[in-house]
Amino acid sequence: MERIGFVGVGVMGHGMASCLVAAGHPLTIIAHRNRQPVEDLVAKGADEAGSYAELAAASDAVMLCVSNSKVVESVVAELKPHLRPGMMIIDTGTSSPDSIRRLAADLAEVDISFVEAPVTGGVKQAAAGELGALVGADETSFEAVKPLLEVMCKTVHHFGLPGSGNTAKLLNNFMVLGIAALVTESFTKAQQADVDWQKLYDVVICGSADSGVLRRIIGSAVDDDFKGYVFDLQSSLKDIDYFCELSKSMGGVSPLAAAVQDMYDQAVSEGHGERLISELLAPDLIDKP
């Protein structure tokens, strides 16, 4: 798997693709709505394909970093007629476990391996090659893809067959999104109660409520920078929806999960889907008493 095709060189994908180029992998990318990352990668040595047929022809494995399961399914459907037996598709986004299992079974019928490897970490970790990967694949495919993932990740763990990686990722994301909901609501109430954010933050990080989420959101917000947590609300809602779908399949959605889902759903319904989680504390969005 020396030659890698890459679909989705956006905010996260650009850093991941840059790591592959730096490691010496021949990389072929396809047009993205934002030309800047494409042009940057081409300047670093990547090739740009004009079609999925060209991308598949130039690759031994194709890596995806796209927004949701529907997009993954659409891209795979366009790629499938051009794939050769023995190739591999690697999905690095957060997807529905049910969708992953269906795709893996469908591609296995034409001797294409499907590996899910949703990642933890943000833009900085992607650029530095310090992500974490939660892999769902058969044992043979995992051993084949592990060296490739280690180019982009400092931690790579195999959770089982396809579907298991995203099950683990959704558990992670539920914790993250739940903590973010608590942090933004707590500091909203702090403002309404005239509690100084900086003083409160300084004390909180000394205790058990400290977390990476808190530091990324409030560490910047105290300086009037509401871009500290680079993950948008639309993507947050997608992930909590997938988590609730998973929970329902295992017996039911808890009141806590439903409350977290409602918070993100309200923000998106009000037209803020493209804004970041940390912008829930921005002056124009923060709840007023």
CATH topology match: 4-160 vs 167-281: no
The pTM assigned to this predicted structure is: 0.93
Over its C-alpha atoms, the chain yields an Rg (Å, rounded) of 20
Q: What is the pLDDT of residue 289?
A: 43
Domain at 167-281, CATH from 1.10.1040.10, 3.40.50.2300, 1.20.1070.10, 3.90.105.20: 1.10.1040.10
Domain regions of the chain by residue span: 4-160, 167-281
Two structure tokens written together for 148? 């490739």
Q: What are the Cα distances from residue 77, in Å, to 1, 71, 89, 102? A: 21, 10, 12, 12
Residue at 184: amino acid letter: T
pLDDT in tens, the chain (289 residues): 689 999 999 989 999 999 999 999 999 999 877 899 999 999 999 999 999 999 999 999 999 999 999 999 999 999 999 999 999 999 999 999 999 999 999 999 999 999 999 999 999 999 999 999 999 999 999 999 999 999 999 999 999 999 999 999 999 999 999 999 999 999 999 999 999 999 999 999 999 999 999 999 999 999 999 999 999 999 999 999 999 999 999 999 999 999 999 999 999 999 999 999 999 999 998 864 4
Write out 58-82 in H/E/C secondary structure.
CCCEEEECCCCHHHHHHHHHHHHHH
Residues 6+ apart with CB under 8 A from 216: 122, 228, 229, 278
Task: Please identify, in words, the CATH class of the domain defined by 4-160.
Answer: alpha beta
| DSSP alpha helix (H) spans, the chain | 11-22, 35-43, 52-57, 69-79, 97-108, 123-128, 139-152, 164-192, 197-204, 212-221, 233-249, 255-267
